[in-house]
Amino acid sequence: MAEQLSFDLPVRRALGREDFFVSPANALAVTLIDTPQTWIAPKLVLYGPQGSGKTHLAHVWATAMDGKVVAAADLPNADLPALIQTPLAIEDVPDIRSNDAAQTALFHLHNMTQAERQPLLLTGRAEPGQWDLPLPDLQSRMAGTQAVALSPPDDALLTAVLAKLFADRQIVPRRDVIPYLIAHMDRSFEMAARIVTALDLAALRESRSLSRPLAAQELARMMDQP
């Protein structure tokens, strides 16, 4: 495989269904996203750690359903009656814990979608029973929603995530870089995103290809940071 240096190009996130790698860590979530007709009610919570694929799957679902994806924090300024005309994915619901207006908007939006039997997908890092939303009626509705987890990555999924993160940055590491990272990095989606960013910046800064020595250097540097 030819080596390729990193260039200062924009990150292009691939969010299509074909770009999502299915493994035992996410298979149930993918199945439910692909078959909304099997949901217990016309709503579902998708939860998992940062970088686990919640946004990707929300966009896959919205595209398949001719729906929309909206951040929970943007709801106070949204036209709620217009939003419920299509299936709707609301991202990062726990982020509105301190946003009373957004909680109130989501409460009304939830009730409107359910009255109209309009599918509603919600995302957050923790399971909905732990979202601790101060608006009691909203929290109870979230906690009572069918939920599915995106689990921490196995080897196959972490490999695919690293490959996708590199591809999003339009860079190609040497073929021994990803196996080295899998063997030595903390096994989390967050760390995968951090190390890919660090390697991209280091390759640019030092005018080097993405090699195993560079990966070892950047992992050691990150481990030394407090």
What Å distances lie between residue 179 and 62, 127, 174, 216, CA to CA? 33, 31, 10, 12
pTM over 0.85: no
- pLDDT by residue for the chain (226 residues), tens digit each? 333 333 333 333 444 555 567 778 888 998 999 999 999 999 999 999 887 789 888 999 999 999 999 999 999 999 999 999 999 999 999 999 999 999 999 999 999 999 999 999 999 999 999 999 999 999 999 999 999 999 878 888 889 889 988 998 888 899 999 999 999 998 887 888 899 999 999 999 998 889 999 999 999 998 877 5
pLDDT of residue 16: 53
Residue 200, judged by CB atoms within 10 A of its CB (0-12, 13-18, 19+), counts as: buried
What secondary structure letter does DSSP report for 85?
T
pLDDT of residue 9: 31
pLDDT of residue 2: 33
Tokens in use for 142?
């979230």
CA 211 to chain centre: 27
> What is the crossing angle of helices 177-184 and 212-224, to 10°?
30
> Tokens 């101060």, residue?
134
Nearest to 193 by CA among 166, 217, 212: 166
CA dihedral (78, 83, 87, 91) in degrees, to 10, reads: 0
What Å distances lie between residue 217 and 21, 75, 175, CA to CA? 28, 43, 17
Greatest Cα pair distance, the chain, in angstroms, is: 58
Quote the Cα angle for 66-72-73, to 5°: 135
The three-state DSSP-derived secondary structure of 20-82 is CCCCCCCHHHHHHHHCHHHCCECEEEEECCCCCCHHHHHHHHHHHHCCEEEEHHHHHHCCHHH
